[in-house]
């Protein structure tokens, strides 16, 4: 039987009883129909987890008794940051959810010249919070105890101007001279840059190349933006990771 997992961002140290956050409490009581005495798992996103038992379920509150912290990890040996251009509809939600399941370490949304979606100000902040919740839910589902962070949206040029993380920098191109399997296993973090529905503009491709992004091939076919990131991540896990 699968034990339900819940993210709790601020588990107090040495506490015996805690209340689930409101959204988690609603999900536990109204959606999963859990009862007092049911076993669950809590995690705070920084590693490890706590076995717990539901102590009491009320109309709006769920109180749980926390057990002893245990070290349990299922993180990928690869450190991959996904730099994903904004995509329309629910494509971005789907991409981020599945990227978490595939072991992504961090997510940087970017606005590019050909991005259909335009977000700024309060709308951008609200969307980032929405994406972070999708990431949390994906961690609850797939068993990860470390929650990848979704960074604030930046333009591609602004991000390239401040991106100082060392390591391997890759972007996809069907006519690239090398395929992913031909590259040596990276010994440093990987940054994967994925374009929007219409692809990057020539000036953006040139700017990325000047910042060290090397094109890599995943077959001769042109992949949609929601396919590209996930295909690349799955291929990396198969060639270099824990698949």
Residues in the chain: 243
Topology of domain 4-66 in CATH is Ribosomal Protein L25; Chain P (2.40.240)
Spell out the domain ranges in the chain: 4-66, 80-239
Structure tokens that stand for 221 in this block: 């076919």
Residue 165: which pLDDT band, with cuts at 50, 70 and 90? low
82-124: per-residue pLDDT in tens?
Answer: 999 999 879 999 999 999 999 999 999 999 988 888 888 888 8
Strands, E assignment, the chain: 4-7, 17-19, 39-43, 50-57, 62-66, 80-85, 106-111, 149-150, 154-155, 168-172, 190-194, 214-216
User: What integer pLDDT is reported at residue 155 of this predicted model?
Assistant: 94
- pLDDT tens per residue, range 7-63: 999 887 778 899 999 999 999 999 999 999 999 999 999 999 999 999 999 878 999
Q: Which of 59, 80, 99, 88 is nearest to 165 (CA)?
A: 80
Mean pLDDT of 165-182: 89
Q: Which CATH number describes the domain made up of 80-239?
A: 3.40.1280.10
Can you spell out the DSSP letters for 53-119? EEEEE-SS-EEEEE---B------SS-EEEEEE--STTHHHHHHHHHHHTT--EEEEEE-TT-S---
The overall longest dimension of the chain from CA atoms, in Å, is 61
- Does the predicted TM-score (pTM) go above 0.75? yes
In this predicted structure, which of 40-44, 78-82, 149-153, 196-200 has the lowest mean pLDDT? 196-200
∠ CA(123), CA(125), CA(130), 5° rounding?
95
Per the prediction, the chain carries an average pLDDT of 92
Question: Is residue 175 scored above 70 in pLDDT?
Answer: yes
Which strand ranges, in their side-by-side order, compose the sheet holding 50-57?
A: 4-7, 39-43, 50-57, 62-66, 17-19
Beta-carbon-side half-sphere exposure of residue 165 (alpha carbons within 13 Å): 18
For the record, the structure tokens of 234 come out as: 């799955």
Task: State what percent of residues in the chain have pLDDT above 70.
Answer: 98
pLDDT higher for 63 or 219?
63
């Amino acid at each position: 039987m699968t034990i339900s997992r819940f993210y709790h961002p601020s588990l107090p140290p040495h506490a015996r009883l805690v209340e689930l956050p409101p959204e988690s409490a609603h999900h536990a009581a109204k959606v999963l129909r859990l009862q007092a005495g049911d076993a669950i798992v809590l995690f705070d996103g920084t590693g490890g987890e706590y076995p717990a038992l539901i102590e009491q379920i009320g109309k709006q509150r769920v109180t749980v008794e926390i057990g002893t912290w245990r070290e349990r990890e299922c993180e990928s040996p690869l450190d991959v940051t996904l730099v994903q251009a904004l995509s329309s509809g629910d494509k971005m939600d789907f991409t981020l959810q599945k990227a978490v399941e595939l072991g992504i370490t961090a997510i940087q949304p970017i606005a590019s010249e050909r991005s259909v979606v335009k977000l700024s100000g309060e709308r951008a902040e609200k969307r980032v919070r929405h994406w972070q919740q999708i990431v949390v839910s994906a961690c609850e589902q797939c068993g990860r105890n470390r929650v990848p962070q979704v960074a604030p949206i930046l333009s591609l040029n602004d991000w390239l101007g401040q991106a100082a993380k060392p390591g391997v920098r890759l972007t996809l191109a069907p006519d690239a001279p090398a395929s992913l399997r031909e590259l040596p296993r990276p010994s440093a973090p990987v940054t994967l840059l994925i374009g929007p529905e219409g692809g990057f503009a020539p000036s953006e491709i040139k700017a990325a190349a000047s910042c060290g992004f090397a094109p890599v091939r995943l077959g001769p076919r042109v992949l949609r933006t929601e396919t590209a990131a996930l295909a690349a991540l799955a291929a990396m896990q198969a060639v270099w990771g824990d698949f």
